[in-house]
C-alpha cells in the first residue's frame, strides 16, 4: 500500500510532529532504509547512543519505533512513511532481518489466529468454572455497590454546598473520588467525576449547565444500575459499560451475529490521553447502510496504537456492532478491501431533522454524548466571535468554541453551497471533521 502525503499528514498527532517529520524525511538522515513485500524499516540517529529503529507494516498499516516518544505515530514513523511516499526507489529491497520478520509474523498471527479446539470439559469442571465466575461477579457487585454508595454521598454534599463552589475545589477533591471509584471496580463512574474536574470554569455562561448535565446523568446511571435486571439486554450492557464493565471483542467475533457489509468512509479521528492510556476513536460512515460506526483502538507508551484506519480512508469491510442501546461502537470482522463503488454520501438537509434523530437516539440511550452526522450546508456565518453552520432552511448550529482556528479557516476556505460537512454533535456543539464535494472527501 502506497500512502499519499495527505494520508500520512492525517496520521500526524499534531502540526509540530508533522513539521519535524518532514525535515527528517530525507534519505541522508537515515542510516538504514529498506523494504520487503510486507513492510519498510529504517534506523535513524536520535538522542540515545543507539539509533532508533522504526518499522512499519503497510497492509494493514501498523508501526513500531524504539524511541521513547509518547506520541503515536512518532515523528520517526511519519518521516519514514513520507520518505517512502516521496522516494520509494531509495529503499533497498532485501530479506527481512530476524527481528523485523518476527514482528511482522506476530502481527499476521494475531490477525489470523485460530482458536484451538477446547478440551472436553467434564460436568465437574464446568460446574467449578461456573461457581468461580459467579463468585467473581458477586465480589465485583459488592465493590461497585460500595462505590456507588460513596459517590451518592459525595454528590449530595456537592449539591448541598452548591455547584457554584466547584471552581474553588482543589484537584485533589475530584481525584480522590475518582480513585475511590476505580478501586471499587467502577472506572466508568470515575470518568464522570473527571468530566466535572475538566470543566472550563472561565466560561461563566456555560459551565453551570454542563455541570448539572454531568451530575444528572451520573445520578441517572446509578439509579439505572440499581434496577438493571428490569432493563432489556442492550440497555443492561450499556449501563454496565458506563459503570466500567468491558465487552469482549473475542466473544463478539465468535458470536453468530450478522455483520454489516458496506463501503466505509473514515470521516474523522479523535485522540484522547489519560495518564498512560491513549484512546483513538475512529468515526466511520457506511455508504449503503447510511449509518455511522465507532472503532476504538487503545495504546500505551509500551504498546503503541495499532490502527489500520486513516482519516479520509475509504474501504470495504464487514463490521460487527456491540449489543448496546443505540449501537455505535463496532469492530472490523472482515479484512479491509478496496471499496466496491464510488464515494457518495447521503446527507440531511437541515438541523431540525438531525435534532430529531438525536432525540430518538437519546430515548434509546440517555447517556449519548457524541453523535456523528452529515449535513448539507449552504453557508458559514460568524457572529460575536462564534461560528455557525447554516442549513438550507437557514437554521444554525454553533461550531465548538474550542475548534482549532487553523481548521476553521480551512473549512471556510474550501466550503461552498453544495458542500456536505461531516462531523460530530457533542455537548450541544458541532465539531466538523471534513467536507465532501465532487465524490471527494477532504479532512479538515
Q: For each successive 10 residues of the chain (444 residues), what is the average pLDDT? A: 73 87 93 91 90 89 87 90 90 90 86 54 78 83 92 94 90 92 92 90 80 93 93 94 87 86 93 76 94 87 68 90 94 82 87 94 93 90 89 91 90 87 91 88 89
pLDDT at 158: 92
β-pairing, 379-383 with 440-443?
unpaired
pLDDT at 384: 83
Q: What does pTM read for this prediction?
A: 0.76
pLDDT at 308: 75
CA gap 24, 8 in Å, rounded: 14
Q: How far is CA 338 from CA 266, 314, 436, 438, in A?
A: 13, 8, 19, 19
Q: Which three cell numbers stand for residue 281?
A: 476513536
pLDDT at 431: 95
Residue 90 CB neighbours (<10 A)? 15
pLDDT at 266: 93
pLDDT at 276: 67
Q: Please, what CATH class does the domain formed by 351-443 belong to?
A: mainly beta
pLDDT at 440: 85
pLDDT at 55: 94
Checking 48-56 for CB contacts under 8 A at 24+ apart, the result is 52/76, 53/99, 54/79, 54/80, 55/100, 55/103, 56/80, 56/81, 56/84
Q: With H, G, I as helix, E, B as strand and everything else as coil, classify residue 400.
A: coil
pLDDT at 303: 64
pLDDT at 204: 65
pLDDT at 275: 65
| Contact in structure between 38 and 96 (CB atoms under 8 Å) | yes
Q: Could you state, in order of their start, the residue ranges of all structural domains in the chain? A: 5-111, 124-243, 249-332, 351-443
Amino acid at each position: 500500500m502506497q500512502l499519499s502525503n495527505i494520508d500520512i499528514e492525517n496520521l500526524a498527532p499534531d502540526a509540530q510532529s508533522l513539521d519535524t517529520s518532514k525535515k527528517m524525511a530525507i534519505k541522508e538522515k537515515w542510516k538504514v532504509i529498506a523494504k520487503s513485500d510486507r513492510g519498510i524499516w529504517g534506523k535513524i540517529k536520535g538522542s540515545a547512543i543507539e539509533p532508533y529503529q522504526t518499522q512499519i507494516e503497510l497492509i494493514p498499516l501498523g508501526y513500531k519505533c524504539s524511541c521513547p516518544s509518547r506520541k503515536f505515530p512518532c515523528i520517526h514513523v511519519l518521516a519514514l512513511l513520507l520518505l517512502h511516499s516521496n522516494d520509494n526507489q531509495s529503499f533497498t529491497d532485501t530479506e527481512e532481518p530476524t527481528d523485523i520478520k518476527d514482528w511482522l509474523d506476530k502481527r499476521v498471527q494475531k490477525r489470523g489466529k485460530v482458536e484451538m479446539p477446547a478440551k472436553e470439559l467434564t460436568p465437574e469442571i464446568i460446574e467449578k468454572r461456573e461457581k468461580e465466575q459467579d463468585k467473581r461477579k458477586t465480589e465485583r457487585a459488592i465493590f461497585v455497590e460500595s462505590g456507588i454508595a460513596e459517590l451518592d454521598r459525595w454528590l449530595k454534599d456537592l449539591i448541598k454546598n452548591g455547584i457554584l463552589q466547584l471552581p474553588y475545589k482543589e484537584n485533589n477533591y475530584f481525584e480522590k473520588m475518582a480513585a475511590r471509584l476505580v478501586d471499587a471496580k467502577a472506572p466508568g463512574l470515575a470518568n464522570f467525576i473527571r468530566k466535572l474536574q475538566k470543566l472550563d470554569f472561565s466560561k461563566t455562561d456555560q459551565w453551570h449547565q454542563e455541570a448539572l448535565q454531568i451530575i444528572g446523568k451520573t445520578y441517572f446511571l446509578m439509579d439505572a444500575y440499581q434496577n438493571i435486571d428490569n432493563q432489556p439486554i442492550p440497555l443492561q450492557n450499556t449501563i454496565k459499560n458506563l459503570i466500567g464493565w468491558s465487552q469482549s471483542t473475542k466473544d463478539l467475533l465468535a458470536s453468530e451475529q450478522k455483520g454489516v457489509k458496506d463501503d466505509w468512509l473514515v470521516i474523522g479521528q479523535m485522540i484522547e490521553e489519560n495518564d498512560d492510556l491513549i484512546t483513538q476513536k475512529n468515526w466511520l460512515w457506511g455508504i449503503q447502510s447510511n449509518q455511522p460506526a465507532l472503532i476504538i483502538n487503545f495504546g500505551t507508551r509500551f504498546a503503541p496504537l495499532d490502527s489500520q484506519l486513516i482519516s479520509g480512508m475509504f474501504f470495504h469491510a464487514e463490521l460487527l456492532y456491540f449489543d448496546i442501546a443505540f449501537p455505535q461502537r463496532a469492530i472490523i470482522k472482515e479484512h479491509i478491501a478496496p471499496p466496491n463503488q464510488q464515494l457518495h454520501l447521503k446527507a440531511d438537509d437541515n438541523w431540525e431533522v438531525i435534532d430529531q434523530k438525536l432525540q430518538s437516539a437519546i430515548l434509546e440511550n440517555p447517556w449519548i454524548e457524541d453523535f456523528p452526522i452529515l449535513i448539507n450546508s449552504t453557508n458559514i456565518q460568524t457572529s460575536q466571535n462564534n461560528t455557525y453552520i447554516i442549513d438550507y432552511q437557514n437554521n444554525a448550529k454553533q461550531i465548538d468554541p474550542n475548534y482549532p482556528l487553523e481548521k476553521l479557516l480551512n473549512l471556510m476556505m474550501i466550503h461552498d453551497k453544495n458542500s456536505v460537512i461531516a462531523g460530530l454533535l457533542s455537548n450541544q456543539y458541532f465539531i466538523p471533521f471534513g467536507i465532501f464535494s465532487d465524490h471527494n472527501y477532504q479532512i479538515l
